[in-house]
Amino acid sequence: MASMADLQDPTHPTGPTVGFDLDMTLIDSRPGIHATWLALSERTGTYVDADLVVTRLGPPLETELAHWFPAERIPAMADLYREMYPTHAITGTLPMPGVHETIAAVHAAGGRAVVVTAKYEPNAKLHLQHLDIAADAVVGNLWAEGKGEALREHGASIYVGDHVGDVRGARTADALSVGVTTGPCDATELRAAGADVILADLTEFPAWLGRYVRA
C-alpha cells in the first residue's frame, strides 16, 4: 500500500501519467510562429510564406527551414529563429480551449502531465509559464518516434497530440494514442495512423479521462 508520503509525492503518481504535444494540442502558437517567421524573413532577406508555414506545424523546425533555405544555412537559421522566438512568439500565443481543465483533470485523477514536444525546450517552457499551464515535466527537441523514449522514461500510458507524428510517438512508447483534431491532421488521418481515440479538442478530454480511469 502506498504511504501518505508517496501519495503526496508527484514522483509517485496514483493515476495515469499523460503525455501531451504542445503546438496545436495545448497551445495555438500560430500567431506567434507566424510573427517569428516574418521577422526571420525580414532579418535574412529571404522570402518565407508564413501563412503556409502555420498550416503544417508539427515536424521539427529544421524540416520547415529546408523549404526556404539551402542545407548549409539551416543550422545557423535554426539558431537565429530560436533566438528571435521569445521576442515575437510568446505573448501572441493562445491557450487551446480546455487546456487548463485538461491538466486539472489529470492532476485530479492523481496523475502527472508531461509535455513532450519537437519545440526547442527553453521556448516550450516559456509558453507554459506565460499561459500558466501546470505541466509536471517538459521535454523538448523530440519528434515522432523520438518522443517515445521520453514517454517511456516518464512512464506515460497516454499520449495526446494533433499530428500523425504524435501517433507514431505514442506507438513507440506503447502508450494509448489520443488524437485531437485541432492541428493539421484530421480524424481520418489520425485514425489511419493508428490513433486509439479521436477527440475534437481538449474540451472533450476531462470527460474522456474520467471514463478511462473508471474503466
Please check the confidence at residue 49 and state whether its pLDDT lies above 80: yes
User: Taking the CB of residue 153, how many other CB atoms lie within 10 A of it?
Assistant: 13
Please check the confidence at residue 165 and state whether its pLDDT lies above 70: yes
What DSSP assignment string belongs to 54-98?
Answer: TTS-SS-HHHHHTTTS-GGGHHHHHHHHHHHHHHHHTTT-EEPTT
Q: What gap in Å lies between CA 16 and CA 199, rounded to an integer?
A: 18
Query: Crossing angle, helix 99-108 and helix 205-214, to 10 degrees?
Result: 20
Please check the confidence at residue 130 and state whether its pLDDT lies above 80: yes
Please check the confidence at residue 9 and state whether its pLDDT lies above 90: no
As a whole number, mean pLDDT of residues 24-45 equals 98
Asked whether the beta carbons of 67 and 167 are under 8 A apart, the reply is: no
